[in-house]
Amino acid sequence: MARRTLKWMTLFVAAVVFLSAGSLLAGTPEKTQPVKGKTVNINKATEDELVKSVPLISAELAKKIVKYRKDNGNFQTMEELLQVEGFDRNLLRRIKPFLLLEGIGGKDCTC
């Protein structure tokens, strides 16, 4: 009788381990699909240009980017976009290839 109980307990534990491993693998993040768009200068782009050119930028977020730039001056780094409400690191990582950072050194800058 004890042997039979041990056998069932072993099968139960094996099933739990198997199911747990499956759920862990299911939680593994998949590769994100590449996004397409056009490169824009975040210090010059209008709301419309941001929405039309940069994937994942909504009209509302574009408005916040332009407002932040007007209130605080040109962006000095790409990471400064994280100060804009609605921006997070994941979004920045995904759209960074579509952003240029120009015009941060004043009118005489050739950057």
Which residues in 97-108 are b (16+ Cβ under 10 Å) and which e? ebbebeeeeeee
Q: Is residue 45 exposed (0-12), middle (13-18) or buried (19+ Cβ within 10 Å)?
A: buried
Tens of pLDDT along 66-86? Answer: 999 999 999 999 999 999 999
pLDDT band for 53, please (50, 70, 90 cuts): very high
pLDDT (0 to 100) of residue 110: 44
Range 40-100 has CATH code 1.10.150.320: yes
pLDDT at 38: 83
| pLDDT in the model for residue 37 | 75
Strand partners, 100: 41
More confident residue, 57 or 14: 57
> Distance between the two ends of the chain, CA-based, in angstroms?
81
